[in-house]
């Protein structure tokens, strides 16, 4: 079998990509082999289109692209003279680090793979469009994927992906490439919810071979007669770039509000877990929420990590801004 053209999935729990594009390695025991489709050559330039089937390079799940977003990536691993002498506090929120435009994609995840991936699959939440509503909406099985984490593939199956929104958002057209195209419901959904879906800033920093990526999202505001409460969701990905396994033990957050308050939050693990980042399972991703009684603020902090050799260290979480926005925010240049 030509593995450079055919992708084989077998449970996704122990899937590992080698560093070469033409060789794909599966580790530990083999379970339930099934052919998914034919791999395509990843794009080094240009964007993937709506309807492109993908495999996530790190988490291994199957998905389909809904639309792209252009984001500003602030990478503290890139040398910057201004930062060398700056203190790591809320005044150093990352804007002095040069932002570089990068493409991310809104991806619908195949629900068959959700139990086996180390990323929350019901992470996109927002408060809704009506001030009278107090409901928190959760959109299941959505992710934001960087261009370099996309592995494209093709299939002849009309029901290539299992997700409750797949048939509502996309339709099969054998004459198109990719063969799934956006329905009007997808375009209307994007237009209605773009303030809560929009990805604008991405922050990255590496400590002791542990890379932390943070993406903040504005969720909306809730008002009553005396106060306004602004909500944000932040998605965090931890990735072990080294050879030794590392376990996350504690979190330490500092949250500054424009109202003048500074809050400290400490606790064991994250979202009730203390994930291990190993050579075979190097990444973990989760989302959480924060509220302020002001339209903007900053967050920064550390994760206490423990390496398999007993060495413990604090892994820096890159500072990031919390900025509110209105529903009238212009729709970015996306291609549904």
Cα–Cα distance measured from residue 139 to residue 125, given in angstroms and rounded to the nearest whole number: 6
Element (H, E) at 331: none
pLDDT tens-digit map of 168-211: 999 999 888 899 999 999 999 888 888 778 888 999 999 999 99
Length of the chain, in residues: 336
pLDDT in tens, 284-336: 999 999 999 999 999 999 999 999 999 999 999 999 999 997 644 433 333 43
Q: Is the peptide bond before 178 cis (omega within 30 degrees of 0)?
A: yes
In the chain, % of residues over pLDDT 70:
76
190/263 same-domain check: no
Which run of H or E residues covers position 194?
Answer: helix 184-197
Quick one: tokens of 289? 């929420």
Tokens for 276?
Answer: 């291990």
Looking at the structure, tell me whether residues 186 and 49 fall in a common domain: yes
With a cut of 70, say whether residue 89 has pLDDT above it.
Answer: no
Q: What is the pTM of this model?
A: 0.81
Q: Is residue 20 part of a domain?
A: no
CATH number at residue 147: 2.30.30.390
Pairing of strands 62-75, 201-207: parallel
Task: State how far the Cα of 90 lies from the Cα of 104, in Å rounded to an integer.
Answer: 26
6 pLDDT above the threshold of 80: no
Question: Average pLDDT, stretch 21-34?
Answer: 43
Residues 58 and 137 in one domain: yes
- DSSP secondary structure letters along 280-305: SS-EEEEEEEEEESSSEEEEEEEEEE
> Do 49 and 193 reside in the same domain of the chain?
yes
Domain that holds residue 122: 44-76+98-198
Residue 125 lies in a domain: yes
**What confidence category does residue 27 fall into, taking pLDDT thresholds of 50, 70 and 90?**
very low
Do 297 and 229 fall into the same domain? yes
Establish whether the linkage from the previous residue to 300 is cis, with ω within 30° of 0. no
Q: Are residues 173 and 307 in the same domain?
A: no
The predicted pLDDT at position 152 comes to: 96
Determine the 3-state secondary structure of 34 from DSSP: strand
- Residues 162 and 55 reside in one and the same domain: yes
CATH assignment at residue 312: 2.60.40.1470
122: Cα separation from own chain's centroid: 11
Whether 218 shows a pLDDT value over 80: the answer reads yes
Query: What domain count does the chain have?
Result: 2
Specify the pairing of strand 6-9 against strand 15-17: unpaired
For residue 32, the model assigns a pLDDT of 54
Q: Which residue has the tokens 């299939």?
A: 155
pLDDT digits (tens, 9 = 90+) for 30-88: 445 567 788 999 999 889 999 999 999 999 999 999 999 999 999 999 875 454 444 44
Please name the residues in contact with 192: beta carbons below 8 A apart, sequence gap of 6 or more: 129
């Amino acid at each position: 079998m030509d593995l450079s053209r055919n992708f084989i999935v077998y449970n996704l729990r122990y899937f590992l990509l080698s560093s070469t594009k033409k060789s794909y390695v599966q580790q530990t025991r083999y379970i339930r082999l099934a052919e998914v489709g034919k791999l395509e050559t990843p794009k080094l330039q240009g964007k993937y289109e709506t309807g492109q089937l993908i495999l996530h390079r790190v988490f291994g799940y199957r998905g389909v692209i809904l639309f792209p977003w252009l984001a500003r990536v602030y990478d503290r691993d890139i040398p910057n003279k201004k930062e060398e002498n700056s203190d790591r506090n809320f005044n150093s929120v990352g804007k002095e680090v040069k932002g570089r435009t990068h493409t991310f994609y809104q991806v619908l995840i195949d629900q068959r793979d959700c139990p086996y991936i180390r990323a929350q699959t019901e992470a996109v939440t927002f408060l809704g469009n009506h001030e009278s509503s107090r409901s928190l909406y959760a959109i299941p099985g959505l992710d934001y994927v960087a261009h370099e984490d996309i592995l494209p593939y093709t299939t002849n199956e009309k029901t290539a992906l299992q997700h409750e929104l797949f048939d509502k958002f996309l339709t099969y057209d054998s004459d198109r490439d990719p063969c799934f195209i956006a329905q009007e419901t997808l375009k209307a959904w994007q237009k209605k919810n773009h303030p809560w879906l929009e990805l604008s800033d991405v922050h990255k920093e590496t400590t002791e071979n542990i890379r932390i990526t943070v993406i903040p999202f504005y969720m909306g505001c809730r008002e009553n007669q005396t106060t306004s409460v602004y909500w944000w969701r932040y998605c965090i990905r931890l990735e072990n770039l080294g050879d030794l396994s590392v376990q996350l033990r504690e979190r330490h957050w500092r949250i500054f509000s424009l109202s003048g308050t500074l809050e400290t939050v400490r606790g064991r693990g994250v979202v009730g877990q203390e994930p291990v980042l190993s050579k075979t399972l190097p990444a973990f991703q989760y989302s959480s929420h924060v509220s302020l009684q002001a339209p903007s603020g900053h967050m920064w902090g550390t994760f206490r990590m423990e390496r398999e050799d007993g060495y413990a260290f604090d892994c820096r979480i890159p500072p990031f801004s919390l900025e509110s926005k209105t529903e009238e925010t212009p729709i970015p240049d996306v291609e549904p």
